[in-house]
Chains A and B, each alone.
Chain A
């Protein structure tokens, strides 16, 4: 307790005489400064609070000015609803908010601000100046506050909206100022906040000036995709895959939109992951884990895919009130969120051709612009409703409404707006859906498989001018096995080099996965049980795993205190020369080490991964021409075959234009 008493400092009132332990009301300034400790940690927190206020006010244009890393100045100017003369002093009073009235409202927080303490906190540790004007008034008002000195509201000129400037952050609390990092670091953090905010508000224009230089300038009314790409960098355009929840389940109250980068964009840190819940940038392990899990096998463990994930949940479904800066949330149904994200990302990846370009690997650049594929057409891809099921159409439409049209009310009641939009779509039937399709091109669901190949080859031709001479599409008719390990062939884009084990493993996995989702794998009984040695703990795990094992055609049971008997084993594994004892030993080992959750999807995938790896041809195995051809044919059929389950790529491509460059022909 002793230490918790604030030590006297230059900005505090005189210290209480020693021994004076009377309880006293803290001075308002001190209260605000303590609160500021929670809310305002650094300039970036100021940027965040001011931006959120602007968005809460329904702004369609927001301008941010940052000087000296935000320490000297953070100014946010918006064209929102503004404040009247009487509102201004209230805005900086602690616990004054226009956004919440009763405690029950706390459960349904749809706006950013709700505590009413941000402005007061910032004002207490900076020199603040607010200028604002509402649409109903001919002129605006200004209020200056310095520490606990609140000035008088005075008339000011200016457009409708609000401009809040905070200067000389922590000028009156040197102790806090010391905790700031270098100007450069603080500046980066401020910019990160602006970028995140701009990313989740595609409908709103953002302009950011840092020390007088423009670092961001995005127009209003962008699609979420265009906005995300504008911020991530245009060069990632061909690398990003659009993700959406496959179904809008009203009972679940969750919708999802996002972009995930192809495996080549994975980074060693999670910084390239942008997660949002109800438009709020958050850090959340559940979502992050789900994304990582979807990429399992596609990227090496410990790396993070570039990703933008935007979740919309009903306010009842998520508690944002767990962290003072609201950067963390608590989901009411965490596993539901996890599974929706996992499935959506996984399915998006499954639709893609993930063959990395060799050129891209060699020089890290020089990718041809890939014109929008069907998956990139959305959010207008509403037309999915025609052939791809009404819920797809609804989803697209929801996003269309939510993101593309700047709508003031939306920010206050985004969830209701979504619901409303859905109802509108449902009432309208498929008509607007078709219209949407016409606007944006052919949705994927309508393109038959054969047509897709053609479409993609046409794409390739447009992308690589040099490929125009190539007849399209080229069937993979000749295959060369190199060093009994790699297959070399061609497709419509150029030369494809395939790692035979990696590809076969991938193919096996997908086949097994498909089989297992239909039923159980065929199983061959053994004459006498194959005996596996195991520790008593592992034998105990065996009971839990029985259902999983049955699925993959294995019947095993304890035989003694330290032995397990395999009575039946998957035909496929036998066919591929996999030894039941070795396999079982490894499986028990893995189940134990990785703490398999019985009956979980994860455990099933782990086991199938293992089966696939064991059953696949190995590097060094000679393959007959027929086998080579069969394997490559499967390549096309199997989803996301470009990376084997262990995260190595299964194939790389050298495009015609890359070849031309290498040979100095272009």
Chain B
């Protein structure tokens, strides 16, 4: 294998791929990235593949000068460090012979010891996942969705996942497709975020699966620059995202595959309250600022901020109190508070988390009473349930 390629494109690719390389593994092969050079017409491509056994990522770098097609296995961190350090070289030459890779720039020559490429685990291709291969049945569901919208739905839910919780299915985000309806739901047991989008295709089987947070974080990075549609294929235990560079068409310029999280997601429909009778519209930025200021006088043990809505004054008072620290009181004028007075405690971080991903300035708060879940809505797409805290 011998290729000459643009250093900047290569760096971008290796940075993305490094995110899935296994770090602590007894198999050194898994700390490597696989390079595959192929001739395509007059040009050529170099594909970088990495996996950590849970997630795999295949990224194609186009416009590569392939002098000799082939493949090789090279430690990902060394490759990344070299590409990143050779920062005054416009191009780099990578040449593999046997198990070593020579990387050459204008004034530099690195010889890096790698591994035979056959020792790298097989990573399924998108097409193969769709049609089924190697004894695997065809995908249960295949559909596509605009990259931009998908990215937004992920951003509006992923923040609510449990961070260190290894026990639960809630360590991932639920994806549900039902006809034209695409829903993603995330929760950490104390709040729940749900975001909806409408698919262009209305036919197809209903499907529900839980995607690990890490895979979605990587996906978000891949979606950052993507324009067109993303193809999604869901099998029994994996999900595949095919992000096309240009038009959708499964050209596999970037394919992310991830194992699904096994287990049951909490019955989220049941926890979204339907009878919250106290409703108010607030400006997103006004509420954000008020909550953030009230949160200044909270600490680990006294996290809660009390939100008191009074109908007569049409006012929201936010107050907090931390022992040995002090108290805060913030007032917000409301325009349309309906319902009886209510006072309820929340973790302020849970509220600001949601406000950060809401783009519409009009936010709706719905409450019932002190010890019942609160609801924050934005448009028809975003529903957020927050459980109250019992203040001292």
Chain B positions within 8 Å of A512 at CB level: 301
Check A553/B390 contact, CB under 8 A, given A572-B301, A577-B163.
yes
Q: How far is the CA of A523 from the CA of B167 in the complex (A)?
A: 21
Chain B positions within 8 Å of A568 at CB level: 390
B29 within 8 A of partner (CB): no
A554 CB to nearest chain B CB (Å): 11
Determine whether the beta carbon of A522 is less than 8 Å from that of B390.
yes
Q: In the complex, what residue of chain B is closest to A570 when comparing beta carbons?
A: B301
Check A524/B387 contact, CB under 8 A, given A515-B323, A577-B163.
yes
Q: Which of B188-196, B250-258, B335-343 contacts A (4 or more CB under 8 A)?
A: B188-196
Determine whether the beta carbon of A525 is less than 8 Å from that of B387.
yes
Determine whether the beta carbon of A575 is less than 8 Å from that of B303.
yes
B385 within 8 A of partner (CB): yes
Determine whether the beta carbon of A571 is less than 8 Å from that of B301.
yes
Interface residue ranges of A560-606 to B (CB < 8 Å): 568, 571-572, 574-577, 579-582
- Which of A518, A525, A579 is in CB contact (< 8 Å) with B190? A525
Determine whether the beta carbon of A521 is less than 8 Å from that of B167.
no
A528 within 8 A of partner (CB): yes
A648 CB to nearest chain B CB (Å): 24
Size of the B side of the interface (Cβ < 8 Å), in residues, is: 29
B116 within 8 A of partner (CB): no
Determine whether the beta carbon of B371 is less than 8 Å from that of A522.
no
Check A577/B304 contact, CB under 8 A, given A523-B389, A524-B387, A526-B387.
no
Q: How far is the CA of A577 from the CA of B189 in the complex (A)?
A: 13
Chain B positions within 8 Å of A577 at CB level: 163-164
B296 CB to nearest chain A CB (Å): 16
B187 within 8 A of partner (CB): yes
Interface residue ranges of B152-169 to A (CB < 8 Å): 163-165, 167
Check A519/B190 contact, CB under 8 A, given A575-B300, A576-B300.
no
A662 within 8 A of partner (CB): no
Check A525/B371 contact, CB under 8 A, given A519-B392, A520-B392, A577-B164.
yes
B221 CB to nearest chain A CB (Å): 25
Determine whether the beta carbon of A571 is less than 8 Å from that of B189.
no
A34 within 8 A of partner (CB): no
Q: In the complex, what residue of chain A is closest to B391 when comparing beta carbons?
A: A522
Q: In the complex, what residue of chain B is closest to A515 when comparing beta carbons?
A: B301
Q: How far is the CA of A519 from the CA of B390 in the complex (A)?
A: 12
B272 CB to nearest chain A CB (Å): 10
Q: In the complex, what residue of chain B is closest to A553 when comparing beta carbons?
A: B390
B373 within 8 A of partner (CB): yes
B204 within 8 A of partner (CB): no
Size of the A side of the interface (Cβ < 8 Å), in residues, is: 28
B376 CB to nearest chain A CB (Å): 14
B347 within 8 A of partner (CB): yes
Determine whether the beta carbon of B390 is less than 8 Å from that of A525.
yes
Determine whether the beta carbon of B167 is less than 8 Å from that of A571.
no
Determine whether the beta carbon of B167 is less than 8 Å from that of A522.
no
With most chain B CB atoms within 10 A of its CB, the pick from A512, A528, A572 is A528
Q: How far is the CA of A374 from the CA of B304 in the complex (A)?
A: 41
Q: How far is the CA of A258 from the CA of B301 in the complex (A)?
A: 37
Determine whether the beta carbon of A527 is less than 8 Å from that of B387.
yes
Determine whether the beta carbon of B389 is less than 8 Å from that of A525.
yes
Determine whether the beta carbon of B266 is less than 8 Å from that of A527.
yes
A530 within 8 A of partner (CB): yes
Q: How far is the CA of A523 from the CA of B190 in the complex (A)?
A: 11
A622 CB to nearest chain B CB (Å): 15
Check A521/B301 contact, CB under 8 A, given A568-B390, A581-B167.
yes
Check A528/B271 contact, CB under 8 A, given A515-B301, A571-B301.
yes
Determine whether the beta carbon of A527 is less than 8 Å from that of B191.
yes
B267 within 8 A of partner (CB): yes
A511 within 8 A of partner (CB): yes
B388 within 8 A of partner (CB): yes
Chain B positions within 8 Å of A528 at CB level: 189, 266-267, 270-271
Q: In the complex, what residue of chain A is closest to B187 when comparing beta carbons?
A: A527
Q: In the complex, what residue of chain B is closest to A526 when comparing beta carbons?
A: B189
Q: How far is the CA of A519 from the CA of B373 in the complex (A)?
A: 24
Q: How far is the CA of A518 from the CA of B323 in the complex (A)?
A: 10
B302 within 8 A of partner (CB): yes
Determine whether the beta carbon of B388 is less than 8 Å from that of A525.
yes
Q: How far is the CA of A377 from the CA of B137 in the complex (A)?
A: 85
- Which of B164, B189, B270, B303 is in CB contact (< 8 Å) with A522? B303
Chain A positions within 8 Å of B347 at CB level: 524, 571
- Which of A522, A527, A572 is in CB contact (< 8 Å) with B192? A527
Q: In the complex, what residue of chain A is closest to B372 when comparing beta carbons?
A: A525
A556 CB to nearest chain B CB (Å): 14
B361 CB to nearest chain A CB (Å): 27
Q: How far is the CA of A522 from the CA of B385 in the complex (A)?
A: 20
Q: In the complex, what residue of chain B is closest to A519 when comparing beta carbons?
A: B392
Q: In the complex, what residue of chain B is closest to A518 when comparing beta carbons?
A: B323
Chain A positions within 8 Å of B392 at CB level: 518-522
Determine whether the beta carbon of A579 is less than 8 Å from that of B303.
no
Q: How far is the CA of A582 from the CA of B390 in the complex (A)?
A: 22
Q: How far is the CA of A527 from the CA of B387 in the complex (A)?
A: 6
Determine whether the beta carbon of A527 is less than 8 Å from that of B385.
yes
User: Mask for A493-526, Cβ within 8 A of B = 1, else 0?
Assistant: 0000000000000000001101100111111111
Chain A positions within 8 Å of B302 at CB level: 522, 571
- Which of A523, A526, A572, A582 is in CB contact (< 8 Å) with B300? A572
Q: Known A-B contacts: A523-B390, A525-B371, A579-B164. Give 8 more (CB < 8 A).
A: A524-B303, A524-B347, A524-B387, A525-B373, A527-B189, A528-B189, A572-B303, A581-B167
Question: Which 9 A-B pairs have CB atoms at the shortest separation, nearest pair first?
Answer: A525-B387, A523-B390, A571-B303, A572-B301, A527-B271, A519-B392, A577-B164, A575-B300, A524-B389
| 21 intermolecular pairs with C-beta atoms under 8 Å apart | A514-B323, A518-B323, A518-B392, A522-B303, A522-B304, A523-B390, A524-B190, A525-B388, A525-B389, A526-B189, A526-B190, A527-B373, A527-B387, A528-B189, A568-B390, A571-B301, A571-B303, A572-B301, A577-B163, A577-B164, A579-B165
Binding site for B on A (CB under 8 A): 511-512, 514-515, 518-528, 530, 553, 568, 571-572, 574-577, 579-582
